[in-house]
Amino acid sequence: MSKPPTCREVTPADSTKLVPLFEGFYGQWFGEPVTAQAVQRRIQQARGTETLVVAERDGDILGFASLRLVPSLDSAPYA
């Protein structure tokens, strides 16, 4: 039985490993091929606004997520 995946925050060093996942999710990046440099820029742009996380097992990235908190005028919680 394999180990369960763990989740952690993305670092710029993950950019190369994220390229295949970004290609599968986005196809292209604003009309351009996905590159490690484009992913690294995306990671930097997200700082302070979003939290990017990856799921990994044995050093392999299995998936990613982008979490963003947005202020709301409605005080009732929703999901």
Name the token pair of 40.
């690294």
Domains and CATH numbers, the chain: 6-66 (3.40.630.30)
| Predicted local confidence at residue 44, as pLDDT | 93
Query: Per residue in 16-46, pLDDT tens?
Result: 999 999 888 887 767 788 899 999 998 999 9
Q: Please give the pLDDT value at position 75.
A: 77
Please report the pLDDT score of residue 79 as a whole number.
65
Classify each residue of 24-43 as buried b or exposed e, where b means 16 or more C-beta atoms within 10 Å of its C-beta: eeeeebeeeebeeebbbebb
Stretch among 8-12, 25-29, 46-50 having the lowest mean pLDDT: 25-29
Per-residue pLDDT averaged across 61-72, rounded? 88
C-alpha count within 13 angstroms, C-beta hemisphere, residue 15:
13
